[in-house]
Amino acid sequence: MKRTLARIAWRGLWRHPQRTILMMAIVAFGSGLILLMWGLTDGFIETMISTQIDYDSGDFQVRATGYADDPLPKNGLPSESVAIVESTLAAEFPDTWTYAPRLDTSGMLKSAYGVLGVSVRGVNPIREPTVTVTVESVGEGRYLEAPGEIVLSRAAATDLDVRIGERVVLLSFTEGNSSSRAFTLVGILDSALTTMDSVVFVTLPDAQALTGWDGATSVAVSIPHGTSRDRAATRLEAALAAHVDATVETYFELNPMIRVMLSGSAVKLTPFVIMVALLAGFGVANTVFYSVLERTREFGMMTAVGMSTRQLARVVLYESIYVSAVGFAVGGGLGYWVLLYLSRVGMNFGALLGDIGATMGIPNVLYASTSGLYWIASFSVVVFTGLIAAWYPARRASRLEPVTAIREG
């Protein structure tokens, strides 16, 4: 009997194909929009965080207590502390945890054609590539190998009109004194992160010679994907507590501005999703309701020939389910296809974000996420709103008196 009712509902839908297609289009639009919104928002946030971690910060960093208040090399980790941090990481944590000491300072870079204010990052050329993917973004030349070499972003190389193999002079200031050193440009980076355009890479010994500080300003740590950053950072901080006056700071602690921005976007997204769901739901409810009103006479005839009011309500419900299912299949399918495309190609927001993107550390190209959870979430919203939308028309159909219905219709 259920099968017969389902068949009646399906045939009933296609007696008015325009109306049915309109209902399906509304559901398709709503479900596609929800899928896209979740996929794009989550994807953009994931891209932003992973880009920052992969290109710049690492999963977390060990820094001297108080360094953030006055980020000068002299407030960084002394060489003995760096050695303790490294030996603790090597001895007490899995081999999959990688780490690299860094010395960050500021300076001015000069070529024959210009001068540029830069952030100078002294790195260990062997260890740094185990923490970040900077080495993979070398678009021209090669990564650092020996002292006296420097790697710049393409933006900086263009500004200074300097080419691979040419000499540049880096000036650094410490405690009121300045120190100049010559470096040979060996590599140009095409980084996905515009904030890295102003960072120049030299070897750790060169940065130490420039600043006169024989330690580091941080030890960046990378952990395997799927490991909880917060728990890992807490564990490392506990292991270091007795030996070094240092703090372990995760990506979000290093970038409080990003944290505020993301928490705000998550809160703002929820009401928008509810609004879209209601829009789709009311669209379906409205159309189903009027289709029930229009077919009052038809429903009266059906009950007159023996269909129970319960069966009649079920036909209306089936119609609603068909509309939601087909609408979701079309909207969800299209939405997922678009997400899949954007997860591979990405969207370039460079022109739109401009300086704000650079300041916030947002990469120019953002990628969508294609988690199956979005399908489930979108389907749940569609089913829920579809059922709610069908409830009132079905209830009205179930209360029809055959004679009255035939006379009214």
Partner 1 sequence: MRRHRLLIAAGLLLCIGTLAFAQSEPLTADEVFDRTRQTWQADSFHATLSLDIVLSGQTKSHVLEVWTLGEDLSLIRVHEPEEDAGSGYLEADGKLYYYSPLVGSPIELPAVALSDALFGSGPSLDDLSHGTLSDDYETSVETLDASTDDDALYRMILIPHADAPVVYGKLEILVSADFVIQEVVYYDQRGNVLQTATFRDVVDIDGYRMPTTVEIADAGGDRTIEHILGPELNPDLDASFFTLETLVGGGDTE
**Least distance from partner 1 to the Cβ atom of residue 162, Å:** 9
Among 1, 69, 95, 113, binds partner 1 (CB under 8 A): 113
SS3 95: coil
Among 7, 11, 142, 167, binds partner 1 (CB under 8 A): 167
Closest CB to partner 1 among residues 160, 248? 160
Beta bridge partners of 181: 170
Closest CB to partner 1 among residues 109, 254? 109
Closest CB to partner 1 among residues 176, 226? 176
| Other CB atoms within 10 Å distance of the CB of residue 261 | 15
Verify binding: residue 178, partner 1, rule CB under 8 A: yes
Distance CA 330, CA 349 (A): 28
Which range binds partner 1 by CB under 8 A, 30-38, 161-169, 335-343, 344-352?
161-169
SS3 353: helix
SS3 361: coil
Helix axes 256-294, 372-398, angle to 10 degrees: 30
**Least distance from partner 1 to the Cβ atom of residue 201, Å:** 18
- Give 71-94 as a DSSP string: --GGGSB-HHHHHHHHHHHHHHS-
On the 0-12 / 13-18 / 19+ scale of CB atoms within 10 A, 293 is middle
Among 102, 121, 181, 295, binds partner 1 (CB under 8 A): 181
Which range binds partner 1 by CB under 8 A, 97-105, 169-177, 230-238, 244-252?
169-177
Verify binding: residue 115, partner 1, rule CB under 8 A: yes
Closest CB to partner 1 among residues 166, 253? 166
127 half-sphere exposure, CB direction, 13 A CA radius: 18
- Binding marks (x or -) toward partner 1, 82..111, rule CB under 8 A? --------------------------x-xx
- Binding marks (x or -) toward partner 1, 49..88, rule CB under 8 A? ----------------------------------------
Which residue stretches of 295-400 are H helix? 296-304, 309-345, 350-360, 372-398
Please check whether residue 309 is in contact with residue 396, taking contact to mean a CB–CB distance below 8 angstroms: no
**Least distance from partner 1 to the Cβ atom of residue 113, Å:** 7
Among 22, 45, 138, 171, binds partner 1 (CB under 8 A): 171
Among 148, 205, 333, 409, binds partner 1 (CB under 8 A): 148
Distance CA 130, CA 87 (A): 17
Verify binding: residue 184, partner 1, rule CB under 8 A: yes
**Least distance from partner 1 to the Cβ atom of residue 211, Å:** 14
Q: Which residues contact 32 (CB under 8 A, 6 or more apart)?
A: 330, 331, 332, 334, 335, 338
Total interface residues for partner 1 by CB under 8 A: 21
Closest CB to partner 1 among residues 110, 127? 110
Closest CB to partner 1 among residues 18, 177? 177
Distance CA 108, CA 179 (A): 10
Closest CB to partner 1 among residues 7, 163? 163
Closest CB to partner 1 among residues 197, 206? 206
Distance CA 409, CA 392 (A): 19
Structure tokens at 286: 């409205």
105 half-sphere exposure, CB direction, 13 A CA radius: 33
Verify binding: residue 177, partner 1, rule CB under 8 A: yes
Please check whether residue 339 is in contact with residue 355, taking contact to mean a CB–CB distance below 8 angstroms: no
**Least distance from partner 1 to the Cβ atom of residue 359, Å:** 23
Which range binds partner 1 by CB under 8 A, 2-10, 168-176, 243-251, 386-394?
168-176
Closest CB to partner 1 among residues 151, 400? 151
Helix axes 372-398, 309-345, angle to 10 degrees: 160
Closest CB to partner 1 among residues 22, 171? 171
Q: Which residues bind partner 1 (CB under 8 A)?
A: 108, 110-113, 115, 148, 163, 166-169, 171, 173, 176-178, 180-182, 184
